Every structure is written in structure tokens, then in C-alpha cells.
Amino acid sequence: MFDRLQAVEDRYEKLNELLSDPEIVNNPGKLRDYSKEQSDIQDTVLVYREYKESKEQYEEAKEMLEEKLDADMREMVKEEMGELEEKLEQLEDQLKILLIPKDPNDDKNVIMEIRGAAGGDEAALFAGDLYRMYSRYAEAQGWKTEVIEAHSTGLGGYKEIIFMINGKGAFSKMKYENGAHRVQRVPETESGGRIHTSTSTVACLPEAEDVEVDIHEKDIRVDTFASSGPGGQSVNTTMSAVRLTHVPTGTVVSCQDEKSQIKNKEKAMKVLRARVYDKFQQEAQAEYDAQRKSAVGSGDRSERIRTYNFPQNRVTDHRIGLTIQKLDQILEGKLDEVLDALIMEEQSSKLENLQD
């Protein structure tokens, strides 16, 4: 492990030199790539340097014990060594986690797609609950949300809602929400008081940049049509809504949220790029069976990942067997307890794989 850490520190120093090179400074592409690489390994280097410094202090204290010391001084040195041993152990655990290969998408914005699935109106209402839950969580993290496309049912629910969360590290947290979410509750329309089970699906896509997925204009068919929906002067009067079709993959995206056709096209393009990027990633990941059998599941959107039981105020994440009696708080966007448990489980699984 320490050979790898030394190699990371050496690379960090090399990147420092490269980023001071006028040739690199005048090359925006390389400057961006090297800056990102340095940023990605900076935490590892800082913790490793702290580890080396603490290790050096420990060895110095150990040498002092071999000298002739009075009882009080000897006791002080032993106490210091005990504290340093504890600190070294903590730093080593940190370094193990920092050496886990990082998901290259973790720092990206995320495009989320929520759809009511089994359960009709009740599934659409639950889709609305999930959207509000994620919006509140994003707000608590200091992230911004932006609706791209929404098909509401008029009762506070959504047949489908697509929105973007802008914020550093958004994908690193929200990627765990990929899958089918099940709700168990008595619908408002149920006169007999029977509990119904409905589902909504959530898809989380990292926002893809132009350099990551090659989409040519000639491969995109653009259709415009009159927007539809509740109210507004522009509804059904201007051809502001846009539908984009990526012909090679058959991926279709439409957007009518904005009054401007240009803005709708820009939003639709973000979703299209993310979906095509996700399609290529899914195909590539399918080749790695071990990765797709990780502790937190494969990320398959048909996989039931969580149940929200209203009568018992209970949330259960089926991937890690976690049950929490705080449904009301979780729906208010307090997702940290669930997401932190999922992150820890994935880190533990990856650490085991590294040690195999």
C-alpha cells in the first residue's frame, strides 16, 4: 500500500511541475486534465504526508525511550507514543479508503428521471413525493435543482419528471437512488382503508460533457411542436417544444418547460447527451460481472431498492438490509443516514476486493 502511496505523491509533485510549464498553461485541454488529476489525488497526498510526519515523530519518541530518562519523562514519552499509535491507525484507515478507485463521474452534476410505475395515480403521487424529497435534500447540500421536463397529474403527482441537480459531488450521492422505489400506504382515494403497494422508478445519470460523448449534429433529428400543459399564453400557440432523436441509438428526448425553443433545445441536449453516455457506460459495465454484483446492487433500474411503509413510518433499503423508523424525516430530505450507510457498505466491499 505504501509503495502505491509513494507513487501517488511522486505523481502529485510531477503534476506541480507540469502545471508550471508555460507550454501546459497555454494548452487549455491539458491544463484542465492535469488540474483535475491533481485535485483528485490531493487529499490522498495530504493524508499520506501527515502519516509520514506522525510516523517520524513516533520513531523519534521510540529512540528517546532507549536513552536514560527519569520516570516522569519516560511516562510522558510513552503517553505520546500511545497517542501517535492511535493517530497512525486512524490515518492508515483513511488512506485505505482514499486508495479505493474513484468513480470518475462522482464530482458531476446529475440528471434525475422519476416515473410513476405500477399503481396508476398513487404511483404518480409517490413520484411527486420522491421529487420533493430529493429537492429538499439538494437544498440542504447547497445544490441547485432545475426542472427540465415534467408531466404532472394535477394532483401533485407526476407521470414523469426530469430535473438536474447542479452541485459538486451530486452524482457521488444520488447514484445510489437508481432503481425501483416501493411505497405502501392507504391512498386518499381508498374508502375501505386498505393499504396499497405502488412503485416509482428513479434513474440517475451523470451530466456528460462534450468531450466525453461524441454526438454529431448529423446524427440528431430535431422536431418542434406546440407545447402542452396547464395554462400559460405560450401553450399551444408557439412551436417552442423540442424533440431530439439520436438516430444511432434511438434515444429520444423532449422538452417544453421553457417558452424559448432555443432554451428547450439546450435542456433537451443535456438530457440526450447524458442518456447516450449512460447507454455506453451500461454496455461497458455489463462486461464486468463482479462490479455489477457489488453490495449496493447493480444500479439496474428494474431492481427494487427501497420500500417506504407509511403505516409503520418505516423505510427499508433492501440492498444492505437497513431499516429506519424515520419515514417522515426522510421524505423531508433527511437522507444522510441512508446514503452514508450505502457509501460505507460500498467502500467496505471495494476494500475487500483490493485485499483479495
Residue range 305-333: average pLDDT?
A: 94
Q: pLDDT above 70 covers what percent of the chain? A: 87
Integer angstrom CA distances of residue 210 from 66, 230, 247, 269, 283 = 62, 34, 18, 11, 19
- What pLDDT, in 10s, does the model give residues 330-346? 999 999 999 999 988 88
In a 13 Å sphere around the CA of 79, the CA atoms on its Cβ side amount to: 6
- What pLDDT, in 10s, does the model give residues 131-141? 999 999 999 99
Domain identity same for 230 and 197? no
Residue 212's pLDDT is 59
- What pLDDT, in 10s, does the model give residues 46-85? 999 999 999 999 999 888 888 877 888 888 888 899 999 9
Place of cell 459531488: 169
254 or 314: whose pLDDT is higher? 314
Please check whether residue 202 is in contact with residue 328, taking contact to mean a CB–CB distance below 8 angstroms: no
Please check whether residue 209 is in contact with residue 111, taking contact to mean a CB–CB distance below 8 angstroms: no
Domain identity same for 190 and 302? yes
Please check whether residue 320 is in contact with residue 296, taking contact to mean a CB–CB distance below 8 angstroms: yes
Query: In 3D, which of 98, 90, 86, 84 has the Cα closest to residue 9?
Result: 98
Domain identity same for 157 and 281? no
Pairing of strands 220-225, 196-206: unpaired
Cβ-based burial of 299 (10 A; exposed 0-12, middle 13-18, buried ≥19): buried
CATH number at residue 61: 1.20.58
Q: Which domain holds residue 22?
A: 2-98
Residue 228's pLDDT is 64
| Partners of 152 in beta bridges | 158
Query: What backbone phi and psi angles, to 5 degrees, belong to 203?
Result: -120, 130
- Axis crossing angle, helix 28-65 with helix 2-18, rounded to the nearest 10: 130
Domain identity same for 317 and 272? no
Res. 154 pLDDT band, cuts 50 70 90: confident
H helix intervals, 99-186: 121-141, 170-174
Residue 238's pLDDT is 64
Q: Is the pLDDT of residue 2 over 70?
A: yes
Please tell me the pTM assigned to this model. 0.68
Residue type at position 133: M
Q: Is the pLDDT of residue 348 over 90?
A: no
- What pLDDT, in 10s, does the model give residues 296-306? 444 455 578 99
Res. 88 pLDDT band, cuts 50 70 90: very high
Q: Output the nine-digit C-alpha cell for 194.
A: 386498505
Residue range 236-259: average pLDDT?
A: 79
Residue 289's pLDDT is 42
Residue range 145-163: average pLDDT?
A: 87
Q: Is residue 254 part of a domain?
A: yes
Please check whether residue 51 is in contact with residue 92, taking contact to mean a CB–CB distance below 8 angstroms: yes
Query: In 3D, which of 88, 309, 34 has the Cα closest to residue 197?
Result: 309
Q: Is residue 103 part of a domain?
A: no
Pairing of strands 179-185, 304-309: parallel
Q: Which of 225, 255, 285 is the last residue of a domain?
A: 285
Residue 176's pLDDT is 93
Q: Which of 234, 265, 285 is the last residue of a domain?
A: 285
308 or 108: whose pLDDT is higher? 308
Residue 298's pLDDT is 45
CB atoms within 10 A of CB 95: 19
Number of domains in the chain: 3
Domain identity same for 200 and 221? no
Q: Which of 266, 285, 304 is the last residue of a domain?
A: 285
Domain identity same for 140 and 276? no
